[in-house]
C-alpha cells in the first residue's frame, strides 16, 4: 500500500507525543523512559502552544491508515547577522520511523517536507543532530558540519 504524507495538526498532538517518546526511548536504548508520564504532559503543553504559533511544525507518514513515521522542526529566532539576515532558523528533529517501515524511503520524503517548509517560511538555515542510523540520509541531502564549534553546558 502507498504511503501518504500530511502536515500534522493540533488534533494530532497525541500522535506527536507518542512518537517523540518512542524516538527518545529508542535513542536512550530503553523501552520506557524514566518519568515518561511527566514528559508526556510537558510535550503536550509544548505542542499545544508551539503548533498554532508555527514555532513547531511536523509531518506524518501513514501506511494503511496508520502513522508509521514523523518529522518535526522547531522555528527559532536569533538576532540577525551577516549570514542569517532574518535571524530565523530551523532545527529538524524527531525524525522517527517505526522499525517495520524503515528502509523504504519514508524518512527521505519527510526530510524533503521539512526542507520545503523551511524554504516556504524564508529560513536561511536548518540544523539537526544526526543519529548514526540517519546520518547518511542527511549527508546525501547536503547537510554538513557547520565548521564552527558548538559547545554545550548542562545546567541541571
The verdict on pTM exceeding 0.85 is: yes
Q: Name 62's bridge partners.
A: 4, 67
Determine, yes or no, domain membership for 76.
yes
Determine, yes or no, domain membership for 100.
yes
Determine, yes or no, domain membership for 128.
yes
Determine, yes or no, domain membership for 86.
yes
Determine, yes or no, domain membership for 36.
yes
Cβ-count burial 1-22 (b if 16+ within 10 Å, e if not): eebeeeebeeebbebbbebbbb
The region of weakest confidence among 32-41, 51-60, 143-152 is: 143-152
Q: Is the CB of residue 57 less than 8 Å from the CB of residue 7?
A: yes
Report the domain count for the chain. Answer: 1
Cβ-count burial 126-156 (b if 16+ within 10 Å, e if not): bebeeeeebeebbeeeebeeeeeeeeeeeee
Determine, yes or no, domain membership for 56.
yes
Which domain does 33 fall in, by range? 3-141
Determine, yes or no, domain membership for 134.
yes
94: left (phi over 0), alpha (psi -120 to 50) or beta: left
* HSE-up of residue 98 (Cα within 13 Å, Cβ side): 13
Determine, yes or no, domain membership for 147.
no
Q: What is the pLDDT of residues 73-125, one digit of tens each?
A: 999 988 988 888 888 999 999 999 999 999 999 999 999 999 999 999 999 88
Q: How far apart are CA 17 and CA 44, in angstroms?
A: 6
Coil, strand or helix at 123 = coil
Q: What is the pLDDT of residues 1-27, one digit of tens each?
A: 699 999 999 999 999 999 999 999 998
CATH number at residue 124: 3.40.630.30
Amino acid at each position: 500500500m502507498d504511503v501518504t504524507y500530511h502536515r500534522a495538526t493540533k488534533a494530532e498532538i497525541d500522535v506527536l507525543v507518542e512518537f517523540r517518546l518512542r524516538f527518545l526511548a529508542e535513542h536512550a536504548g530503553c523501552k520506557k523512559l524514566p518519568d515518561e508520564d511527566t514528559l508526556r504532559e510537558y510535550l503536550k503543553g509544548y505542542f499545544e502552544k508551539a503548533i498554532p504559533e508555527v514555532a513547531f511544525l511536523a509531518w506524518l507518514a501513514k501506511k494503511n491508515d496508520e502513522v508509521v513515521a514523523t518529522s518535526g522542526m522547531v522555528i527559532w529566532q536569533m538576532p540577525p547577522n551577516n549570514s542569517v539576515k532574518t535571524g530565523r532558523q530551523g532545527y529538524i528533529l524527531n525524525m522517527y520511523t517505526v522499525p517495520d517501515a524503515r528502509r523504504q524511503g519514508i524518512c527521505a520524503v519527510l526530510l524533503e517536507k521539512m526542507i520545503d517548509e523551511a524554504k516556504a517560511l524564508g529560513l536561511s538555515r536548518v540544523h539537526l543532530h544526526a543519529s548514526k542510523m540517519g546520518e547518511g540520509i542527511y549527508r546525501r541531502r547536503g547537510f554538513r558540519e557547520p565548521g564552527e564549534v558548538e559547545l554545550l553546558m548542562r545546567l541541571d
